[in-house]
Amino acid sequence: MKIKNLMIVGTATIFFSCTETETITEIVEVEKIVTETVTVTETETVTKNIYILPEEYSFTRNGLQTVYYTGQTARLKMATELKGHMNDNSKTKDQLDTMFNSGTGFTDSTLDSSGKKVGNKTASSPVASATVKPLFDGWIEDFTSNVAPAVSAGTTASSGVAGSYTDTKDDGTTGRTVKVNAKGFELNQIFSKGLIGAFQVDQIVNNYLSFSKLDGAREDNDNGVYGYKNDQAENYITKMEHYWDEGFGYLYGLDSQFKPGLGDAATGKDTANLNYYLNKVNSKEEPGISQKIYDAFIAGRAAIVAKDYDERDKQAGIVSAEISKVIGYKAESYLRDGAEDITNGMWADAHHALSEGYGFILGLQFTKNSEGNPYMTNEEVNSMLDRLSAGDGGFWERTPEELTTMADEIAQATGL
């Protein structure tokens, strides 16, 4: 390792010296300038050689695929199921709590034996605030003890009153129905959108693709020490490779490993989580973002195999900044949608949009912009969420003007 360093330093120094020579001798001898040009060309060839990248996120060792992320797939399936169950009046607190925190009791019984949980990966990165996870437990409690009983009793929701609420459209037909708490929170939306930030983005950006996590496995990666084996008998995957793959899995776990975007209906695809919303951003706000993220995942993974850690960190920075945009765009756009719904008097639509917005705003603290900072700190997020849900009636008391102001503030913070 030391030798390698020395050589790189040596090269750099000679380069500077060469350039210096060039300046000094330029006037005297033309020949030297020609030699310089040759040297520079050689270096460029080297640089290009590093990035012969596969087109697909696929890496092998001795013919065996080294990429796997079954744990992430299981957790994303759990998150998807929880979104449904958090809107089901018949579910008890104990049932939801068991699914979230113990990782059992799911409809898809294969999940129970996965040994994975969503709860212990929620806002669990080293930089995440410990105050966030209890919010999710609180929403389970709120839904099962306040919303579900009110809905079962047929209570119509209104400002300060939990229950269900149905919009009536201009033509007299019924619109959306939401089950909301006293403040108009549609809890499964808050829970699910909250997880996109606090669980998926936090795990990718602040855990698996973070410098400290990856670089902690540097020595093993340098020396070809393997730490993971997937379903093989012997370890053949380095820790650093696997950490990166796990980061990848937190985005693509329900979709295809071999292409960006959503998977095929036949093989299953994300219908509720980060990749689903990334796909929306890709088709509206920022075409090409999905490919950009996918390519950065490939380049970073190839850099790990090549032991090029500066490149790895550069690609991790791209993935993090691009993924964060999904949270940024959606936090803003759902507030604007909510403002429009309120203007139109469609309260069920408004509660739905504002609940999604609430969840995405929560996620702003787990993001990392291109400078490596979150769009908003935990404190800033909390203060915005307080404003969004202020008053006994919460969302019911918001005006379109207030929501537009908040959306503008988010746009200001994200720079999007």
Partner 1 sequence: MKKYITFLPLTIVLISIQCSSEMDDTDNLVIDETITTEIVSDSNSTDNNNNSNSSSSDSDSNSFNHKEMLTNWVDNIIIPSITNFDNSLEIFEESATTFVNAPTTETLSNLKEAWLSSFLKWQHVEMFDIGLSEEIFYKNRINLYPTNVEKIENNISDQNYDLDEPVNFSAQGLNGIDYLLFGIGENENEIISKFSDENLNYGKYLTDLVDKMVSLTSEIKLSWSDEYKSSFISSTDNTASSSINKVVNDFIYYFEKGYRANKIGIPAGVFSDKPLPNRVEAYYGKNYSKILALEATDAVNYFFNGNHSNDTESKGLSIKDYLDYLEADKEEKLSEKINSQLEKIKTKVSELNTNFSEQVNQENLKMLIAYDVIQANVVFLKVDMLQVLNISVDYVDADGD
Min dist CB 203 to partner 1, Å, is 11
Closer of 58 and 399 to partner 1 (Cβ): 58
Closer of 80 and 382 to partner 1 (Cβ): 382
Q: Is 310 in a helix, a strand, or coil?
A: helix
Cα(196)–Cα(290) distance, integer angstroms? 16
Min dist CB 412 to partner 1, Å, is 25
Closer of 338 and 363 to partner 1 (Cβ): 363
Among 226, 227, 175, CA closest to 349: 175
Alpha helices in 63-117 (DSSP H): 70-85, 93-97
Min dist CB 381 to partner 1, Å, is 13
Min dist CB 364 to partner 1, Å, is 16
Min dist CB 160 to partner 1, Å, is 23
- The answer for residues whose C-beta is within 8 angstroms of residue 61's C-beta and 6 or more apart is 236, 237
Closer of 7 and 225 to partner 1 (Cβ): 7
Closer of 247 and 260 to partner 1 (Cβ): 247
Closer of 5 and 62 to partner 1 (Cβ): 5
Cα(293)–Cα(330) distance, integer angstroms? 17
Q: Is 316 in a helix, a strand, or coil?
A: helix
Min dist CB 41 to partner 1, Å, is 11
Q: Which residues bind partner 1 (CB under 8 A)?
A: 1-2, 5-7, 9-18, 20-21, 32, 35, 38-39, 42-43, 45-46, 49-50, 52, 69, 71-72, 97, 101-102, 116, 119-121, 126-127, 129-131, 133-134, 137, 211-212, 215-216, 218-219, 228, 239, 242, 246, 302, 305-306, 309, 378
Instruction: Kindly compute the dihedral angle of the four CA atoms of residues 182, 187, 193, 198, in this order, to the nearest 10 degrees.
Output: 90
Closer of 253 and 363 to partner 1 (Cβ): 253
**What proportions of the chain, in percent to the nearest 5, are helix, strand and coil?**
60, 5, 30
Which pair of tokens denotes residue 129? 């605030």
- The answer for residues whose C-beta is within 8 angstroms of residue 219's C-beta and 6 or more apart is 225
Min dist CB 198 to partner 1, Å, is 14
Cα(385)–Cα(331) distance, integer angstroms? 11
Cα(413)–Cα(416) distance, integer angstroms? 8
